[in-house]
Amino acid sequence: MSPNSLIAAAGVAAAGVLAVLRKRTIEDSEVCLLHAPQTAMLADGAELLSVIDAECPSLAGSATARFVPSMALPSADLQTCFSAVRERFGRLALVEYERELITTKDGGTIGLDWSPPLAQMPADERPIVLLSPGLSGGSQETYVQTTVKRLTSEPYNFRTVVVNFRGCAGVKVTTPVLYNGGLTSDYGYAVDHIRGRYPSSKLVGIGYSLGANLVTKYVGEQGEGCPLSAAISVCNPYDLAASSDALEVPTFRNRRIYTPAMLLGLMKLYRRHRKIIETGPVELDVEAISKIKSIRQFDNLITAKLFGYQDGTDYYRKNSCAQFMPAIRVPFLAISAMDDPVCPESIIPREVFRTNPHLILALTKYGGHLGYHEDLSSSWFERPIAEFCAAVFGHASA
Q: Which residues are catalytic?
A: 209, 340, 369
Pairing state between β 159-164 and 128-132: parallel
Kindly report the CA angle at 169 between 129 and 158, in degrees rounded to 5?
Answer: 15
Contact 190, 110 (CB under 8 A): yes
Separation between Cα atoms, residue 325 and residue 217, nearest integer Å: 7
In angstroms, rounded to a whole number, what is the distance separating the alpha carbons of residues 148 and 304?
33
List residues bridging with 361 in a β-sheet. Answer: 34, 334
CA dihedral 334, 335, 338, 344 (to 10 degrees): -60
- Decide: 252 and 220 in contact? Cβ < 8 Å: no
Give the DSSP letter string of 109-123.
Answer: EEEEEEES-GGGS-S
